[in-house]
């Protein structure tokens, strides 16, 4: 979760505004209720209720969700291709493909044209071209077919 500077303090700002409104409300209540005998008790009760609610709301807003990790065993069919895991890892690290580039690579290996990939990812054709260019550069290949071949050989792609 990343928040821009405004959103980061949204809670605080909301709290401030809510507090201001409450003070007006309380002043009004003070003025209205002093005419009764049991005004003070009612007033205090109301304040207690309102601020209890405010506390609850605050807590709801501000508590961070607990992250629970669930490990699910999912059967994955693996080719019995003997691979030098270390060499693969080294080459993968050297390539350092970004998430988007990897995504493009995957669709590319599925046989999609740049145009089709662009439509699938909701971006322009030019963007895909840029991605593929950097991809080929990083992977040290000249064509998409070579990229696919290398990716399959390194098990980047099933």
Which of 101, 105, 139, 156 forms a contact with DNA (CB under 7 A)? 101
Rounded Cα distance, 25 and 65, in Å: 33
Rounded Cα distance, 106 and 91, in Å: 18
127 within 8 A of 116, measured Cβ to Cβ: no
Q: Is 127 in the site for DNA (CB under 7 A)?
A: yes
By rule CB under 7 A, what string of x and - marks binding of each residue 106-125 to DNA? -------xxx-----x-xxx
Rounded Cα distance, 8 and 63, in Å: 14
Please give the size of the binding site for a second copy, defined by CB under 8 A. Answer: 55
Question: Closest distance between DNA and the C-beta of residue 104, in Å?
Answer: 8
Q: Is 73 in the site for a second copy (CB under 8 A)?
A: yes
Count of all residues that appear for the chain in the document: 158
Rounded Cα distance, 122 and 21, in Å: 44
* Contact positions vs DNA (CB under 7 A): 2, 5, 96, 98-101, 113-115, 121, 123-127, 129-133, 136-137, 142-145
């Amino acid at each position: 979760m990343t928040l821009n500077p405004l959103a980061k303090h949204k809670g605080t700002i909301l709290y401030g505004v809510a507090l201001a409104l409450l003070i007006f409300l309380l002043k009004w209540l003070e003025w209205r209720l002093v005419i009764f005998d049991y005004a003070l008790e009612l007033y205090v009760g109301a304040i207690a209720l309102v601020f209890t609610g405010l506390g609850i709301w605050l807590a709801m807003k501000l508590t961070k969700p607990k992250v629970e990790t669930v490990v699910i065993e999912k059967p994955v069919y693996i080719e019995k291709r003997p691979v030098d895991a270390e060499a693969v890892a080294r080459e993968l690290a050297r390539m350092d493909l970004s998430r988007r580039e990897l995504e493009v690579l995957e669709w590319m290996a599925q046989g999609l044209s740049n145009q089709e990939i662009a439509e699938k990812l909701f971006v322009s054709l030019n963007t895909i071209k840029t991605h593929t260019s950097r991809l080929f550069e990083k992977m040290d290949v000249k064509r998409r077919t070579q990229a696919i071949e290398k990716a399959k050989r390194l098990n980047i792609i099933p």
